[in-house]
Amino acid sequence: MSVLPATSETIAAAGERLRAGGLVAFPTETVYGLGADATNGRAVAAIYTAKGRPRFNPLIVHVADLDSARALAVFCPRAERIAAAFWPGAVTLVLPRRTEATVADLVTAGLETIAVRVPAHRLALALLAATGRPLAAPSANRSGRISPTTAAHVASDLGERVDVILDGGPCAIGVESAIVDLSGDRPALLRPGGIAGGAIETVLGERLDRMVKVDPQRPVAPGQLESHYAPAARVRLQASVAFPGEGLLAFGSDEPAHGGPVVNLSPGGDLAEAAANLFGALRRLDATGVAGIAVVAIPSEGLGEAINDRLLRAAAPRPQ
Ligand code: TXA
Ligand code: MG
């Protein structure tokens, strides 16, 4: 594995590796992706091996532009509106897959729908151009771990399991894309993410159905949420203080006093800054060796919905 600063030469070389069936981790504006040629079933299979994913979850297909997305998926008027408003950007659309779409069946896990997105990061777009193929890319972490927002996170998680890591610095948004399912009668937000659900609703002029109601005030029933995005430390939400042995994940100016490790996601109370810092902050607190992480209440508006979704999953009961 080599971590390479992203330059026109390293991007061209990474494109060659992808065309030859290799795995390349690359920055997007949300999180780092673990990319493979979406038209090559063996390359896509290697993603699952590298991540240690137990099941074949369908993957997001990244494309260079709207026309490339239209070649893979059937666009409805709602899809056109969202793409016009937010692409390139942090929203993924789940749409009916075109029968003639050239992606490997493993990418869609045999579904009749496909998840597509045009990323906004200039290096992701340069890599797509260099490869000339759609790229299947889940977040570049091992299954169940926190999504990576720096090249160093990718290297520590995947190491030799990936051929090349393109280093483009920290990701600006820091949480994964919002996923909107437009394949049914009603539009549904499958995953809150880097574009706020409310902003998408404004563009659509209608409400999105939500799969998981993210209400940090209400306890989550065990089993309601799959454990995911999990640090090693136990995560405790809605904390007004941190106990000895815990790290504190704070937000805003009203930070509880704590003798142990503290990371404030945004002392100024900015939810976009908090989203960008979230996964790195969980990793930093985890690296101190604390047994638990106490997380203060974070407002659920705007990007707060995505932040609270990830925190709920980090706090959900773990398998075993
Ligand atoms: O920001 C992001 O979306 C990042 C960057 C790398 O682009 N990618 C990412 O991919 O988060 P991943 O694989 O970690 O998450 C993909 C999600 C999964 O929850 C999967 O179930 C859902 O997308 N998905 C993919 N195809 C789908 C489909 N046809 N129907 C429903 N859900 C789908
Ligand atoms: Mg992921």
The residue contributing the CA closest to ligand 1 atom 1 is 176
Task: Indicate whether residue 114 lines ligand 1 (CB < 6 A).
Answer: yes
135: Cβ contacts below 8 Å, ≥ 6 apart: 18, 33, 35, 36, 37, 38, 61, 62, 63, 127, 128
β pairing state of 178-181 and 188-191: antiparallel
Average pLDDT for runs of 10 along the chain of length 320: 88 97 98 98 95 85 98 98 98 97 92 97 98 97 92 95 96 97 96 97 97 54 56 94 97 96 98 97 96 97 96 81
Ligand 1 in contact with 149 (CB < 6 A)?
no
Burial class (CB in 10 A: 0-12, 13-18, 19+), 281: buried
pLDDT at 222: 40
Give, as one character, the DSSP assignment of residue 139.
B
User: What pLDDT does 220 receive?
Assistant: 46
Determine the residue of 26, 176, 229 to mutate for testing ligand 1's pocket, defined as the one with the most ligand atoms within 8 A of the Cβ atom. 176
Question: What's the gap in Å between 228 CA and the centre of ligand 2?
Answer: 8
59 CA distance to ligand 1 middle (Å): 5
Cβ–ligand 1 distance for 190 under 6 Å, the answer: yes
Q: Closest-lying ligand to the alpha carbon of 128?
A: 1
Partners of residue 33 on adjacent β-strands: 26, 139
| CA-179 nearest atom, ligand 1 | 23
Q: Is the CB of 137 under 6 A from ligand 1?
A: yes
* CA 31 to ligand 1 centroid distance, Å: 12
Token look-up 């815990």 returns 246
Atom of ligand 1 lying closest to residue 115 CA: 26
Proximal ligand: closest to the CA of 226: 1
* H/E segment holding residue 273: helix 271-287
CA dihedral 147, 148, 153, 154 (to 10 degrees): 100
Q: What is the predicted pLDDT for the residue at 77?
A: 98
List CB-based neighbours of ion ligand 2 within 5 Å.
Answer: 139
Helices 271-287 and 151-158, axial angle in degrees (round to 10): 40
Tell me the best of 87, 179, 227 to mutate to test the pocket of ligand 1, counting ligand atoms within 8 Å of each CB and taking the most: 179
The bound ligand whose nearest atom lies closest to the alpha carbon of 147 is 2
Query: What pLDDT does 225 receive?
Result: 54
Where are any strands of DSSP class E within the chain?
A: 2-5, 24-26, 33-37, 60-62, 91-96, 113-117, 135-136, 164-167, 178-181, 188-191, 209-210, 234-236, 246-250, 262-264, 292-295
CB-count exposure of residue 99 (10 Å: 0-12, 13-18, 19+) = exposed
pLDDT value for 224: 46
Residues written for the chain: 320
Distances in whole angstroms, Cα of residue 148 to Cα of each of 35, 105, 122, 227, 264: 14, 26, 18, 17, 19
Residue 108 beta carbon below 6 angstroms from any ligand 1 atom: yes
Among all ligands shown, which has an atom nearest to the Cα of 176?
Answer: 1
Q: Give every CB contact of residue 17 below 8 A, 6+ residues apart in sequence.
A: 23, 24, 163, 164
